[in-house]
Amino acid sequence: MFFDANDSISSFSDGTLKIDSTNQLLQQQDSISAAKTFITYPSGIKLQPKERKQGPLVEPFVLILIGLSLVILVVAKYFLPRRFFQLLGSYSANRHVNQLLREWNPSKSMPGPAFLLLYVILFALSLYFSLHAYLGVSTSHQAGIFVNIATLVLLFTLLRLLASKIIALVFKAKDLNLPLRTIEFSHYLVSSLTMIPALIIITFYPGGSGLKIGLFLIAIVFIFSFIRIFYYSLKAAPFSVFYLFLYLCALEIVPFLLLIKTASLMLEGEFQIIKSIV
């Protein structure tokens, strides 16, 4: 019996021989997806497909926005350090709120508006990643979808500030509204400081653990901010707990749920504010 040099020999359990042409094996290899790596064993040509591990694909605009956010924080801390730390302290202590209001108004003076813009960008990124993972939809024009979500978050934030100001004028509670808005601007700063590392974790570790850790960090800040505003309002004004809870539900919880629902519709392509051209 004659064998070609390109043939491989394998034996069955009963001692019979089986001759397979290498050319046939190579043809079978060509038909398999190129996205797989093959391992060849010394005992013969035995092809075993092995999936390649590819790193996370990071959208360039995500890295640009995270870098821009870091620059804004560094510039604000460098040029306005006193206001930076006053706003940071107002997140947890009432005395810092009173001291801050004697010097400046965060809603009208820098770096307050800069922190609001920073919060909008980072919160929109957080919504984009969390809803994308939750809905499991594969979308194109990611930058365009993010622009729509960021626009929605900006409108949502500005409408909340406007609604709180109107309520304060109607019920003559301006003295209470100003400290509450100051605490809210301190929330913008603290949440931005928290969302930057959380988004870095979510971006480079997009699996289940990375997403859970990032969203857990963000959730802690938002829950603490809600509790902080609740107890400050309860101590500063003689409201009943029931009316205060209704106020927070109407101005905080319900609009937040509507924001998440609208953002999910944007991610699924069913609604958009700005026509996507990206």
CA distance 202 to 221: 17
Q: How many CB atoms lie within 10 A of CB 206?
A: 17
Task: Give the pLDDT confidence of 200-226 residue by residue, as tens digits.
Answer: 998 888 777 888 899 999 999 999 988
* Band of residue 263 on the pLDDT scale cut at 50, 70, 90: confident
Q: Are 31 and 83 members of one domain?
A: no
Q: Is residue 272 situated within a structural domain?
A: no
Q: How many CB atoms lie within 10 A of CB 54?
A: 7
Q: Is residue 138 situated within a structural domain?
A: yes
Q: Which residues of 233-265 are buried (b: 16+ CB within 10 A; e: fewer)?
A: beeeeeeeeeebeebeeeebeebeeebeebbbe
Q: Are 44 and 114 members of one domain?
A: no
Phi, psi at 52, each rounded to 5°: -80, 140
Q: Is residue 100 situated within a structural domain?
A: yes
CA distance 6 to 4: 5
* Band of residue 113 on the pLDDT scale cut at 50, 70, 90: very high
Q: Pick the last residue of a domain from 51, 70, 86.
A: 51
Q: Are 119 and 234 members of one domain?
A: yes
Of 168, 124, 130, 163, the residue nearest 147 (C-alpha): 124
Q: Which of 113-122, 127-136, 163-172, 236-245 has the highest mean pLDDT?
A: 113-122
Does the pLDDT value for residue 197 go beyond 70?
A: yes
Q: Which of 21-25, 126-130, 217-221, 235-239 has the lowest mean pLDDT?
A: 21-25
- The DSSP secondary structure of 4-46, one letter per residue, reads -TTEEEEE-TTS-EEEEEHHHHHHHHHHS-TTEEEEEETTEEE
Q: Are 30 and 64 members of one domain?
A: no
Query: 17, 2 in Cβ contact below 8 A?
Result: no
Quote the pLDDT of residue 80.
93
Tell me what the mean pLDDT of segment 42-63 comes to: 58
Q: Are 28 and 73 members of one domain?
A: no
**How many independent structural domains does the chain possess?**
2
Q: Are 211 and 87 members of one domain?
A: yes
Q: Which of 75-79, 163-167, 253-257 has the highest mean pLDDT?
A: 75-79
Q: Is residue 1 situated within a structural domain?
A: no
Tell me what the mean pLDDT of segment 135-146 comes to: 70
Query: 9, 18 in Cβ contact below 8 A?
Result: yes
Quote the pLDDT of residue 105.
92
Rg for the chain, CA atoms, rounded: 29
Instruction: State which residues form the domain around 106.
Output: 60-267
From the centroid of its chain, how far is CA 67? 14
Of 81, 64, 161, 159, the residue nearest 121 (C-alpha): 64
Task: Give the pLDDT confidence of 173-187 residue by residue, as tens digits.
Answer: 778 888 989 999 999
Q: Are 174 and 117 members of one domain?
A: yes
Task: Give the pLDDT confidence of 150-166 residue by residue, as tens digits.
Answer: 999 999 999 888 888 88
Does the pLDDT value for residue 99 go beyond 80?
A: yes
Q: Are 73 and 33 members of one domain?
A: no
H-type helices in 108-170, by residue range? Answer: 112-135, 142-170
Q: Are 157 and 86 members of one domain?
A: yes
Quote the pLDDT of residue 6.
45
* Band of residue 267 on the pLDDT scale cut at 50, 70, 90: confident
Q: Are 66 and 35 members of one domain?
A: no
Of 34, 62, 59, 39, the residue nearest 49 (C-alpha): 39
Q: Is residue 162 situated within a structural domain?
A: yes
Task: Record the pTM.
Answer: 0.75
Q: Are 146 and 210 members of one domain?
A: yes
Q: Are 73 and 172 members of one domain?
A: yes
Q: Which residue has the higher pLDDT, 50 or 116?
A: 116
CA distance 153 to 263: 9
* Band of residue 57 on the pLDDT scale cut at 50, 70, 90: low
Q: Is residue 274 situated within a structural domain?
A: no
Q: Is residue 216 situated within a structural domain?
A: yes
Q: Is residue 91 situated within a structural domain?
A: yes
Query: 198, 215 in Cβ contact below 8 A?
Result: yes
